[in-house]
Structure 1
């Protein structure tokens, strides 16, 4: 039941705005990685870092900090100040958007709490989502710091995966909470949806695919071939696999990572189709959303590889990946809502 002052629909709409901002941040983060911009800001200043360099001297100081790390000599040696400003733009935009999301979440949350507009049982969920957002920022800095260590010229693909997956997990949690709140607005006696077996199984399969998508970006594994369905004339990169230990090959070899991401997509497709069929009698729109997103995502993945990973196409692939997470959460919620009502 919701108290008389509760405003579940308003809170749901606010959460949708936050979700849209997270999708934008995922895309900007992808571009930041693809343009080798992530290490252009070498310090983490949560407050003072909001203000970018304004004078020529400040820009020179930032550029000097960047020239001190190993990535500069290995990848961007000889770049001009103007070129540095280009990569700085993407990392600064990514961090600024993260701060903005934090404010857009925190300030309305406090306002809703003061007005006693949060329905019973939802305050802890919203606080947990806020905490996940803060954790996401910390993971982002740990990712950047991994690339600032001596001998490193890019960030750890493990931290990149943690950073991305946390963002998408937070996104799915926000969408789930918003859907619960919209249901509550329609029916004051509605209970939160439950995660069913098919929803959980699909989520786990999709999680593996997302982790390997992050590994693809971190290891630049998309560049090992521009062929599909074979990888440089071979179905399986046996030579690369044999030259590593099992664990090293599965998690660190670009060819093997590419192979897993390429073919695990079809496992994810199978589970997503089953989920879409389950949800169709309950919410046909969620079924359509899954089919549309996963079909587009697979085609974009193939096109990105065959086009040799152009930034715009890879960013679009990452955008649709985030939309697929939303569609999956939507469908899993609808199936769980049906079960909770029976």
Structure 2
């Protein structure tokens, strides 16, 4: 097979692999939103056993439901918060966590089986297989991290550690982001000798959006979104009293709910400014239609996320808006990745 024929063949296979990864990324996106709903409905501690293999089968009889419910009653969430909960109420929260775990297993199968198929059919170009295995291994780590997170809420305090929750969210989003970048590499291979000067700016912005999502994980993990439900002020002032009033002071950024919410807001304001400048620069300094589209989508996603964030805050974090805000953050990250990637081959 000549080099030209091989490149043409692999280009066709690349599109097939990209289509499969797009499906996987879409399911992971749904998984992230479902994880947010599970958190917002306080359902995450309803399944007190991991059971990675048998856990895919839900209780199938009234006796089985009662047995699972009795196990739940032995843990702090029932004893301190949900004492007296009915079996129907337990079924409601159980099903959210159950669906979250089953979807995680489904993603593993959805990724592993086609990966093996493409490999056996020799449709994976050189250098791509290690990246696919890396994504698969990270997915396995995500499952373990999810149970490690849940365990933190089954001891004394009926709430998971904000650090473990943020790590769990962060790894899920990282897997999604790496997959999106890989998809773009397959669909739009760069042929430029050097990247556009704004490319590194775009990559940095994508990283900052990712850090913003981690900041949101701390907000969710500490319920800091309920601390101040006014905007643009936090209570009666823009800067609330008592910020960083910890010893050492930096510890407040992870433990004090007022400081955590304030930092999340400031991070958002900084991103609004930086993304606005970046998008304007791309529109003025490039002649690439894809780069200009990326900048426009980045701005649109930013506006949507700002609106969702403010609405979620002032309406005191309803489940629907809270989940939409988490999904909007991932949409913003997707737009950031697309905008940055489009500059790899832009003039």
Shorter-chain TM range is: over 0.9
Cα deviation per residue 1:67-113 (whole Å; 9 max; x = unaligned)? 11111122212110100000001101111111111111111000000
Return the alpha-carbon distance in structure 1 between the equivalents of residues 195 and 58 of structure 2: 43
Corresponding residue for residue 315 of structure 2: 307
For 1:51-90, list aligned pairs within 5 A. Answer: 51-90=57-96
SS of the residue aligned with 2:274?
A: helix
Moved more, 209-218 or 265-274: 265-274
Corresponding residue for residue 325 of structure 1: 333
**TM-score scaled by structure 1?**
0.92
Is the contact made by 1:275 and 1:331 (CA closer than 8 Å) also made in structure 2? no
SS of the residue aligned with 2:328?
A: helix
Structure 1: runs of 5 or more not aligned? none
For 1:1-342, list aligned pairs within 5 A. Answer: 6=10, 7-149=13-155, 151-184=156-189, 196-239=199-242, 241-242=244-245, 245-280=248-283, 281=286, 282=288, 283=290, 284-338=292-346
Moved more, 265-274 or 301-310: 265-274
C-alpha displacement of 1:234: 2.1
Cα root mean square deviation, aligned:
2.1
Cα–Cα, structure 1 residues 110 and 5, in superposed 2: closer, same or farther, change >3 Å? Answer: farther
**TM-score scaled by structure 2?**
0.91
Return the alpha-carbon distance in structure 1 between the equivalents of residues 175 and 295 of structure 2: 22
C-alpha displacement of 1:208: 2.4
Return the alpha-carbon distance in structure 1 between the equivalents of residues 171 and 28 of structure 2: 11
Cα–Cα, structure 1 residues 76 and 227, in superposed 2: closer, same or farther, change >3 Å? Answer: same
C-alpha displacement of 1:235: 1.7
Return the alpha-carbon distance in structure 2 between the equivalents of residues 112 and 243 of structure 1: 54
Cα–Cα, structure 1 residues 12 and 191, in superposed 2: closer, same or farther, change >3 Å? Answer: farther
Cα–Cα, structure 1 residues 265 and 19, in superposed 2: closer, same or farther, change >3 Å? Answer: same
Return the alpha-carbon distance in structure 1 between the equivalents of residues 104 and 181 of structure 2: 21
Moved more, 4-13 or 234-243: 234-243
Structure 2: runs of 5 or more not aligned? none
Return the alpha-carbon distance in structure 1 between the equivalents of residues 223 and 315 of structure 2: 14
